[in-house]
Structure 1
Amino acid sequence: MSLLIVTCALFVGSHLILSHPLREPLAGRMGERAFQIVYSVVAIATLVMVVQAWRSMPPEPPLWAVDDPLWALASLIVLVASILFMGSLVGNPALPAPGAAATAQRAPRGVFAITRHPMMWGFALWALAHALVMPTPAQLVLSATIAFLALVGAAGQDVKKAKQMGDAWRHWTARTSYLPFARQFGGAAPWGDTIPRGHALWGGIVVWLIATWAHGALGYIAAGIWRWI
């Protein structure tokens, strides 16, 4: 457990440090391409360390009973996470693309009307679902690590993008929310805007079906609808 906690701390710490305080000085000195290579190597190496530490944990008894209703809830959460993730791949000004500033001027619709960080919240929801149905200390540490990195990273991304994109990003943040559905509950935006677009909805369903099928096919616990088919 100590090794798992240390490797998780390295994984999160290296991501946050390289993504924010060290990004500009290192990228300026090394060049953007070289920095991306270093960043990717560090990310992969620390992730492998986390996975190896997690796999080396001895069997642990679950902290609570997991029944079919809890599995159904977790499966629904993963479906929502998949829709958020697929929706985040199109029309996302947070992604490094040449037209990001122009994209930020568009009216937020679909998953971006829910939150301006649909990808990060998708990761956090994925982590929550796994914690619900695999309630062991090791899995809770791993899920907490992923959720923390996603949500703290999203907050840091707001600061970084404001520096990089200036008024374009500030205009985007003024019409979107960090917390899901915050603008709808506050009466600042209509609920109809949050209906996922086709690529998010159908793409998310396909990803969910494939991912949950693969969960059982690869030798892990059967997940999603495949538990009952």
Structure 2
Amino acid sequence: MASAAARGALLSPQMRWAVGGWTFFIAENLILSENRTYIIEQIGDQAYHLCYGGLSTIAMGTVAYGYVKKVRFSEPLLWGLTSPVPPLARVVSFATLSLGTFLLSQVPPKVQIPVEVTQGGGTPRVQSENEVPVATPEQKGFSLQVRCPFDFTDNKDPSGPVHGIERITRHPGLWSFGLMGMGVAMLTPSVPQRAWLAMPAFVALIGGAHTDSRFRRGLGGELPEEYDNATSNIPFRAIVNGSQGNVLDVARDMADEIKPLNAAIAIGLSGLVVLRRGRGMKLPVR
């Protein structure tokens, strides 16, 4: 009885809409990108990009329509829509949502406190060419410096093959999207809605692996062997298996390379989302 109900739920129209649009999106991207060279030879570069963009737009339109009209708040439900989210679901949600927002936070410029306290208020006074610089009492004190809240300098070491969040995954954009979807999914009682929110993680898993495969073969890009060996598509895999060296050393290096204030803001916002949604959903008044 229970297995029949489970099969019925998985094969319901709501689940088909939840998974179907994303599956179409993944499939058309795989097919068109894998056969990119052949299709361009047949119809030309401009027609290829028109076809690619058109099918992707249709696929994403299907994804959006399915969510708004068929999937949102649909049954079966794991708990009541207005009931608190189970503790374990909150923990998993916070972990995945924090990792996703952390990856996303490292893309913009580094956020920094716009006011800095420095010691010394100016250049020491020099009266002659041979005189040793002498700081005045005012210059020995502290002063405030106002700076831009965004640091646009790039402190990436060009001599190293891997840096910052590339140590976690070589596709941070895809995985930030997928992990944030998983984080929100854990706070959602609707099974079809959970499936819809989890599908971007499959986009990252399958799409990232296919991109790597194409680039290794020189189709549409390149993936140098040194960089390929030192990084991974699946988050943390290259760190855990030792491809980048000792795990503790890698963790220390990454801590020096990331944008800490960006990360703190991202994780803080994730916590607020979990706290707010964890109390239960407020249904719209109809």
Same fold flag (TM > 0.5): yes
Query: Structure 2 stretches of 5 or more lacking a match?
Result: 1-11, 110-156, 279-286
Alignment of 1:40-79 (within 5 A): 40-57=53-70, 59-64=74-79, 66-67=85-86, 70-71=89-90, 73-79=92-98
Moved segments of 4+, more than 6 Å: 207-210
Q: Structure 1 residues 56 and 17 mapped into 2: Cα distance closer, same or farther (>3 Å)?
A: same
Report the CA distance between 1:44 and its aligned residue: 2.0
| TM alignment of 1:19-168, pairs within 5 A | 19=33, 21-57=34-70, 59-64=74-79, 66-67=85-86, 70-71=89-90, 73-87=92-106, 106-164=160-218, 165=221
* Distance change >3 Å, CA 121–CA 105, structure 1 → 2: farther
1:193 maps onto 2:248 in alignment: no
Name the aligned partner's letter for residue 173 of structure 1. D
Moved more, 42-51 or 7-16: 7-16
Letter in 2 for 1:194: M
| CA distance in structure 2 between the aligned counterparts of 1:227 and 1:130, rounded to whole angstroms | 9
Q: For residues 148-203 of structure 1, what are the alpha-carbon distances to aligned partners after superposition, in whole Å with 9 as ceiling and x for unaligned?
A: 1210111111111112255x52221012123322333233422223337455x544
| Partner SS for 2:231 | coil
Alignment of 1:170-185 (within 5 A): 170-185=225-240
Match of 2:5 in 1: none
Preserved CA contact (<8 Å) 2:76 2:190: yes
TM-score by length of 2: 0.58
Q: Report matched runs for 1:198-213 at 5 Å.
A: 198-199=258-259, 201-203=260-262
Instruction: State the distance in 1 between where 2:38 and 2:158 align.
Output: 26
Question: 1:210-225 residue pairs with structure 2 within 5 A?
Answer: 223-224=273-274
- Going from structure 1 to structure 2, the CA distance change for 1:76 and 1:9 (only over 3 Å counts) comes to closer
Measure the CA separation in 2 of the matches of 1:148 and 1:124: 7
Candidates 9, 25, 31, aligned match of 1:17: 31
Could you tell me which amino acid in structure 2 is paired with residue 154 of structure 1?
Answer: G
User: For 2:183 and 2:256, how far apart are their aligned partners in 1?
Assistant: 21
RMSD of the alignment, in Å?
3.5
Contact 1:82 1:205 in 2 (8 A): no
**Per-residue deviation, 1:224:** 4.8
CA contact (8 A) 1:12 1:149 kept: yes
User: How far apart are 1:83 and its partner, in Å?
Assistant: 2.3
C-alpha distance after superposition, 1:33-69 (max 9, x if no partner)? 5433332222122111122122222632531461467
- Identify, as 1 or 2, the structure richer in helix: 1
What percent of counterpart residues are identical?
A: 21
- What is the number of residues matched between the two proteins? 204
Please give the per-residue CA displacement for 1:6-31, whole angstroms capped at 9, x wherever unaligned. Answer: 33332221122122x22222234444
Structure whose alpha-carbon radius of gyration is higher: 2
Instruction: Label 1:193 to 1:17 Cα distance change in 2 as closer, same or farther (>3 A).
Output: farther
Normalized per residue, which structure has more strand?
A: 2
Mind listing any 5+ residue stretches in structure 1 that lack a counterpart?
Answer: 91-102, 213-221
